[in-house]
Amino acid sequence: MLLAPEDITAIWLSIKVALTATVLSLPFGFTVAWLIVFKPFKGKVFLEVLVNLPLTLPPVVIGFFLLLLLGKNGWIGKLLIEYGIALIFTWKAAVIASATVGFPLLVRSIRLGMESIDRQLLDASRSLGAHWYDTLLTIILPLSLRGILAGSSLMFARSLGEFGATIIVAGNIPGITQTIPLAIYDYASSPSSTTMALSLCMVSVVISVTVLFLHELLNRQLDRKRAL
Amino acid sequence: MKLHIDVEKKLGAFSLQVKADISGEKTGIFGDSGSGKSTLVHLISGLMQPDKGEIILNEQCLFSTHQKINISAAQRRIAIVFQQPMLFPHLSVKANLLYGFKRCHTENRLIKPDALIDLLKLQPLLLRGVEHLSGGEKQRVALGRAVLANPRLLLMDEPLSALDDTLRFQIIPYLRSVSEEFRIPYLFISHSMTEMQLMTDHILEIENGRCIDETTPEQLARDRMAKSQKGYLNLLHLSSPRHENGLYIYTWGRNTLFISAGQQTEKSLFELSSREIILFKKHPEAISARNLLECRVAEMFESDERVGVVLSANGEKIVAEIVRQAADELNINTGATLFAAIKASSFRRLA
């Protein structure tokens, strides 16, 4: 296997971006799933459409919208520049791109987990003196763990593979914003670098398999805990 | 316990409109499926909000549209034992039991976990996961969890209907002893007449979302005798039998009863339908039924076209059921002496 120093950087950057995007999205994903599953409110359909939109939109379109939003002249971009924060063409932009694209997968999985919770358990908790936030933390959260785990794995894997949105908002700068898919894209463009591309593909497979194994392992641990 | 309810709630095509003043420690809410019993439980506990009305428990207003009061379910201190145990699957038995206790203010923690665990015989289960308990054990834990929340009122929403007959009558003594020992008033919701007779001393009867009657279990059983499939159910608590020739022989007051379905246990509960008792004006001399009791007619009551005959056999009471025509032909009146024949196999052991 042949890996250049930039490839190693790309591997670490990919993991860093995917991990950061997943960890940052988790509390939001959990809250949105909770709102959709348990809270009756007007405009719920709009929230659902908005959350799921990145699933149906081409990632390039998402990247372009993000660029318009976060760029120098974008609504949020302008505001951030006042505070001295520049996001475009940094690894943070790659995080935002990955988070946006993976968010619907995260919400869907957590939502499935939450929907399988018997509502009477929540009634029981409330009648035993638990306020809504208490029920959320002591009943809903632990009983959604499987969904959270599945959602996180999916989102992490999706972030590792993120390409379209990332290349538009973060660019393809080796050592700075170049993640595994972007590096493979570079190698694939020149016929002499097939081996290098293949090496990075192998790394991708190893990371993905590791994530799936980890997911299964944690799932089994949850099963074992419940079986006690 | 004093509970004033005057509520209205519309749920699709169903509308509930109940006005009642409940006092007493063991009140039953009786009604068929779909009559609105569970909706009422949800409204009282605060899990559902009435459209209109008020709920006052022991002088404290829990809900009032007029005064714009709605105390949350978490603050009402009304615990529920549901039809299904609804134990938290990710917690151990012990953690389930202490869930409500930990959320109860220190000054209200009058019932201590140890005393309750002893009473409900839960000690061997404490460290187990709830998935590995039997149906009866789960419902005992659910009961314990509700009681340890130290509620002002316990709502038992058909807590026995998910259990088979054997388990059901094993749980009843626990339900009764817990509320008696710790003095927790309860509302017992059920559509079973036997459960009402065993668990309550005052009943609200609900039909189509309306409270149609306030009565006693005895009166309700008498009123429903003709309509009910099993007639009036006599419940007999018997103990320490002898076993002879394939039959169990129990002492019932100063009488002796021969029962096929007996058991060598200290205490047993038997059910005897009023329709299983045959009445004779004179001693029938030879008869295959193993029990022939000389009785005095203590009282008679009407239930549609049937007549309930309350018999006193050496002071012990049972109710027999005959049709109006038979009562007229035999000229049965209060004070008359009759012979009651009961087959040994007519007694059904409940516990």
C-alpha distance from B79 to closest chain A C-alpha (Å): 5
pLDDT, tens digit, for every residue of B42-101?
Answer: 999 999 999 999 999 999 999 999 999 999 999 999 999 999 999 999 999 999 999 999
Instruction: Answer whether B2-223 and B233-349 agree in fold.
Output: no
Q: What is the CATH number of domain B2-223?
A: 3.40.50.300
Identify the closest residue of chain B to A130 by CA–CA distance: B74
Nearest to B74 among A130, A226, A228 (CB): A130
- Look up residue A181 and give its two tokens: 């898919």
Residue numbers in A near B143 (CB within 8 A): none
Interface of B with A in 136-155 (CB under 8 A): 145-146, 149
Q: Which CATH class is domain A5-223?
A: mainly alpha
Q: How confident is the model at residue A228 (pLDDT cuts 50, 70, 90)?
A: low
DSSP 8-state symbol, B111: S
Is the pLDDT reported for residue B156 higher than 80? yes
Query: Distance from B98 to chain A by nearest Cα, in Å?
Result: 10
Q: Could you give the CA distance from residue B292 to residue A129 in angstroms, rounded to a whole number?
A: 56
Query: Helices (H) and strands (E) in chain B — how many of each?
Result: 9, 22
CB-CB contact of A127 with B45 (8 Å) = yes
Average pLDDT over residues A103-123: 96
Q: Does the model's ipTM exceed the 0.90 cut?
A: no
Tokens of A184: 């493979």
Q: What pLDDT is attached to residue A1?
A: 66
pLDDT above 90 as % of chain A: 78
- Could you tell me which chain A residue has the CA closest to the CA of B150? A128
A143: chain B residues, CB-CB within 8 Å: 89-90
Distance CA A23, CA A144 (A): 16
Q: Tell me if residue B276 falls in helix, strand or coil.
A: helix
Residue A189 is predicted with a pLDDT of: 86
The model's pTM = 0.85
Question: For B92, which DSSP code?
Answer: B
A82/B166: higher pLDDT: A82
Q: Which positions in chain A touch B72 (Cβ < 8 Å)?
A: 126, 131
User: For A142, which of B78, B82, B90 is closest by C-beta distance?
Assistant: B90
**Whole-angstrom distance between the N-terminal and C-terminal Cα of chain A?**
45
Rounded to whole angstroms, how far apart are CA atoms A156 and A148?
A: 12
Sorted by sequence, the CB contacts under 8 Å of residue A174 that are 6+ apart come out as A6, A9, A10, A183, A186
Average pLDDT score, chain B? 92
> Hey, where are the domains in chain B?
2-223, 233-349
What pLDDT digit, counting tens, does each position of B282-310 carry?
Answer: 998 888 999 999 999 999 999 888 999 99
A225 CB neighbours in chain B (<8 A) are: 90
Please report the pLDDT score of residue A227 as a whole number: 62
User: Do B88 and A121 make contact, defined as CB atoms within 8 angstroms?
Assistant: yes
Q: Between chains, do A125 and B88 touch, taking CB under 8 Å as contact?
A: yes
CA distance B338 to B280: 6
pLDDT in tens, B305-345: 899 999 999 999 999 999 999 988 888 999 999 999 999 99
- B236: which strand partners? B270
User: What's the CATH architecture for B233-349?
Assistant: Beta Barrel (2.40)
The pLDDT value given to residue A2: 73
Using beta carbons and an 8 Å cutoff, which residues of A are at the interface with B?
A: 118, 120-121, 123-132, 134, 138-139, 142-143, 225-228
Nearest chain A residue to B86 by CA distance is A121
The reply to whether B75 touches chain A by the CB within 8 Å rule is: yes
CB contact under 8 A, B77 and A129: yes
- Burial (CB count within 10 angstroms: exposed 0-12, middle 13-18, buried 19+), residue A218: middle
Q: CB of A127 within 8 A of CB of B73?
A: yes
Mean pLDDT along residues A138-162: 94
pLDDT digits (tens, 9 = 90+) for B160-173: 988 887 788 888 88
